[in-house]
Structure 1
Amino acid sequence: MNRKDLALQRFSQGYNCAQSVFTVFATENGLELDTARRIAALFGGGIARSGEVCGAINGGLMALGLTLAMSDPTDSEAKDHLNQLGQEIIQRFEARFGARHCRTLTGLDLRDPQDHHAAKQSGVLQNQCPEYVAFVVQSLEDILESKGNE
């Protein structure tokens, strides 16, 4: 199964958007699935359902860091490069979807109990978020391929 399909399968199984993206790449980098799932648990819904940056982006940035981060914390050139790649993911996402914040993308404030209930009832997250998950996985694959790390 390819990465995108695996991420979408995990989303359909109840993983949040961040978990769906991060776990695919994390297990390829030696993390146990359960550990990766737990690490990303609070990054869905725009960070603990706060509506901030989309969880798919959060998961993608964590995956990018895990895959490409420098081993020398004093290597400022490598840090700059990694941050440029992270910005590329965010910029691609914003260019495609017009926003990066969960609250804007979904039109819901998941902190509000009524909006959270409405999201569950309407299925908006199940209908919208898979596209965000798939897009971030594809963007990560493109970036990793261009860097020779695919």
Structure 2
Amino acid sequence: MESRVEKAVELHHKGYNCAQSIVCAYCDLFGIDEETAYKASEAFGFGMGQMEVCGALTGACMLAGLKNSGGLAQVGKTKAQTYKLDRVLGEAFREMNKSVLCRDLKGVETGVVLRSCDGCVEDGARLVEKYLLED
């Protein structure tokens, strides 16, 4: 698979939020159309609208659920493994950026920006490719 890191950043430049940029860049590989991906991930930008967990990371976690979940055929049976995958993504993102919180990444309280939104989108896309698409 060709890397889609640049595609995710291009989507961000078009006005997609950080979560939408990640989810929409890879949606076809996870079995959903772009319109559904865009709508489903809209509330996860800007740290879920509250500067909490970075949208790029939550977008990657949404894709982890699409990859790992057994769906209604396996209710409750795959969530522990999906949560484990979420933790791996979160730990890797934190290692790259020193935080997973939008407000910290943007330096709201400290005045020190740890990572730009474009940089977070790049990192989220790289994590998708490393942990969700590499076999």
TM beyond 0.5: yes
Q: Secondary structure at the match of 2:48?
A: coil
- Give the drift of 1:145: 4.1
- Give the drift of 1:34: 1.6
Could you give the per-residue CA deviations for residues 42-101 of structure 1, whole angstroms, max 9, x where no partner exists?
A: 1111002x11000001111011111221231131xx322211111001001111111111
Work out whether residues 93 and 136 of structure 1, in 8 Å CA contact, stay in contact via their aligned partners in 2. Answer: yes
| Structure 1 residue aligned with 2:20 | 19
Say which is worse superposed, 79-88 or 13-22, in terms of deviation. Answer: 79-88
- Give the drift of 1:29: 2.5
Distance 1:37 1:13 in 2: 13
| Structure 1 residue aligned with 2:130 | 142
| Structure 2 residue aligned with 1:45 | 46
TM-score, structure 2 normalization: 0.85
| Structure 1 residue aligned with 2:36 | 35
TM-score, structure 1 normalization: 0.77
CA distance 1:96–1:27, shift in 2 (3 Å): same
Q: What is the aligned counterpart of 1:129 among 117, 129, 133? A: 117
- Give the drift of 1:36: 1.0
RMSD: 1.9
Aligned length in residues:
128
Name structure 2 gaps, 5 residues minimum. none
Work out whether residues 26 and 66 of structure 1, in 8 Å CA contact, stay in contact via their aligned partners in 2. Answer: no
Say which is worse superposed, 136-145 or 37-46, in terms of deviation. Answer: 136-145
Q: Please say if 1:74 is aligned against 2:76.
A: yes
Which structure is larger by alpha-carbon Rg, 1 or 2? 1
> In the alignment, residue 91 of structure 2 is paired with which amino acid?
Q
> In the alignment, residue 56 of structure 2 is paired with which amino acid?
A
Q: Secondary structure at the match of 2:80?
A: helix
> In the alignment, residue 130 of structure 2 is paired with which amino acid?
D
Q: Secondary structure at the match of 1:44?
A: helix
Q: How much identity, in percent, do the aligned residues show? A: 28
Runs of 4+ in 1 over 4 A off after TM superposition: none
The residue correspondences of 1:63-142 to structure 2 (distance < 5 A) are 63-71=63-71, 72-75=74-77, 78-108=78-108, 128-142=116-130
Distance 1:68 1:106 in 2: 31
